[in-house]
Amino acid sequence: MLVNIGMRLRRAAREKDLVARFGGDEFAILARELPGSEDATNIALRVIKEIDQPITTGRLQHHLGVGIGIALFPQDGPSDVEILRRADIALYRAKDEKPQSASRFFDAEMDARTQERDRIERDLRGAISNGDVRPHYQPLIDLATKQVVGFEALARWEHPTLGWIAPDRFIPVAESCGLMNELTEHLLRLAARDASQWPDKLTLAFNVSPSQLKERTLGLRILTILAEAGLSPRRLEIELTESAIVHDLEGAQEALTALRGAGVRIALDDFGTGYSSLYHLRNFKIDKIKIDRSFVDSMEHEPDAYALVRALLGFGRGLGLTVTAEGVEKPAQAVALHQEGCQQGQGYLYGHAMSAKDAVNFIRLNAMEAAPASAHVA
């Protein structure tokens, strides 16, 4: 395979270029005397074309892809070492395009992003063990009674120098450096402990990422953590995205069997944004759908979005599911959603994700507000 790739690279490169293998599956092309950056692009395109042709060994056909990072001398760096380092950063970006082949030029912003990512990767393990990463809680509200019915745990990282880091920035890093199990167990342990202090009727919603659904022991590990914290599985709701389920329907079913058996509920997160294969989902037992906030956001101004929300609510009703609308920011949205039959709302209108301590206060205040008026007089 390597010899074959080497020959293809020779074909894609020009006569005066140097083609080398660095080790493993990494090759480099030193392209001398390029008139302009388009000429680098042209070489990259020829490489992609060559590599994208299947390779036949015996009776098997192999389909390979290639990621290409490009750095230019002298504008991208003063030395060969620096040029290689930057080409490597660009390569890293190109590989994000998987499974497609792709090429990327180095740029300075890329360098900054990569350095930040490296920093996050270096600090994450320590941050998990010393408790800098912890769940915050965003309330879910019953639209009819305005009562809080539970909280969704959302991961927050308080970094000593970078400040608050959003989950969108560190969860992908945890995924790529193999820390996701550790992170999830840590978060669930804290969240289950906090939720066990809330009134019994309040649920804890917890996000599980697609990669974790592939693990056979997922259910068992979750149930063990709940037992240790003294939280009944009936109070836990697992949030999954459609894409997580549709990718590997049987695997997901299997991973969830133990949880479902113990009474854990399953919610479909960001509903409407994935490649909603309702057909695929028909055999998949879910308890709740969460309508993505993009629909809620545009329903006021776009009749189409409004119609879609109605359709999603009808779908939920037809299947006997609970429906939560995400991203409720204005009272008018809450009113419209309630009128259309949506049971629960979540969003800045009711509260941002808050610390465990603030969540307890929130519960107390919410109970007072929902109590009959006479209680206030007395």
Chain residues binding ligand C2E by CB under 6 A are 138, 153-155, 166-168, 171, 187, 207-209, 239, 269-270, 293, 327-329, 347-348, 353
Q: Which two tokens stand for residue 306?
A: 């409004």
Q: How far is the CB of 41 from ligand C2E (least distance, A)?
A: 35
Q: Which two tokens stand for residue 370?
A: 């929902």
Q: Does 270 bind Ca ion (CB under 5 A)?
A: yes
41 membership: H or E segment, kind and range = helix 37-51
Positions 192 through 231 that interact with Ca ion (CB under 5 A): 207
Query: Is there a contact between 39 and 29 (Cβ–Cβ < 8 Å)?
Result: no
Q: Which does 167 bind (CB under 5 to 8 A by kind): ligand C2E, Ca ion, none?
A: ligand C2E
User: Which of 70, 188, 60 lies closest to 135 in space, CA to CA?
Assistant: 188
Q: How far is the CB of 318 from ligand C2E (least distance, A)?
A: 24
Q: Which two tokens stand for residue 272?
A: 């409407």
**Residue 299 DSSP label:** T
Rounded distance, CA 112 to CA 132, Å? 23
Q: How far is the CB of 81 from ligand C2E (least distance, A)?
A: 37
Q: Which does 237 bind (CB under 5 to 8 A by kind): ligand C2E, Ca ion, none?
A: none
Concatenated DSSP letters for 222-283?
HHHHHHHHT--GGGEEEEEEHHHHHHTHHHHHHHHHHHHHTT-EEEEEEETSS---HHHHTT
Q: Which does 154 bind (CB under 5 to 8 A by kind): Ca ion, ligand C2E, none?
A: ligand C2E
Nearer to ligand C2E, 9 or 208 (CB): 208
Concatenated DSSP letters for 67-84?
EEEE--TTTT-SSHHHHH
Cβ neighbours around 161 below 10 Å, total = 6
Nearer to ligand C2E, 123 or 326 (CB): 326
Q: How far is the CB of 241 from Ca ion (least distance, A)?
A: 8
Positions 39 through 68 that interact with Ca ion (CB under 5 A): none
Could you tell me how many residues of this chain bind Ca ion (CB under 5 A)? 5
Nearest residue to ligand C2E by CB is 347
Query: Is there a contact between 267 and 238 (Cβ–Cβ < 8 Å)?
Result: yes
Q: Which does 323 bind (CB under 5 to 8 A by kind): Ca ion, ligand C2E, none?
A: none
Nearer to ligand C2E, 67 or 167 (CB): 167
Q: Which does 348 bind (CB under 5 to 8 A by kind): Ca ion, ligand C2E, none?
A: ligand C2E
Long-range contacts of 358-366 (CB under 8 A, 24+ apart): 358/137, 359/137, 359/139, 359/151, 359/194, 359/198, 360/197, 360/198, 362/139, 362/148, 363/148, 363/198, 363/199, 363/202, 366/139, 366/146, 366/147, 366/148
Q: How far is the CB of 199 from ligand C2E (least distance, A)?
A: 22
DSSP percent split of the chain into helix, strand, coil, nearest 5? 50, 20, 30
Cβ neighbours around 330 below 10 Å, total = 14
**Of the listed pieces 14-22, 191-199, 232-240, 252-260, which binds Ca ion according to CB under 5 A?**
232-240
Buried b (16+ CB within 10 A) or exposed e, 296-311: bbebeeeeebbebbee
Q: Which does 7 bind (CB under 5 to 8 A by kind): ligand C2E, Ca ion, none?
A: none
Q: How far is the CB of 244 from ligand C2E (least distance, A)?
A: 10
Q: State the binding string over 326-365 for Ca ion (x if CB under 5 A, else -).
A: x---------------------------------------
Q: Does 184 bind Ca ion (CB under 5 A)?
A: no
Q: How far is the CB of 83 from ligand C2E (least distance, A)?
A: 36
Q: Does 269 bind Ca ion (CB under 5 A)?
A: yes
Q: Candidates 123, 239, 297, 340: give the one binding Ca ion (CB under 5 A).
A: 239
Task: Return residues touching Ca ion (CB under 5 A).
Answer: 207, 239, 269-270, 326
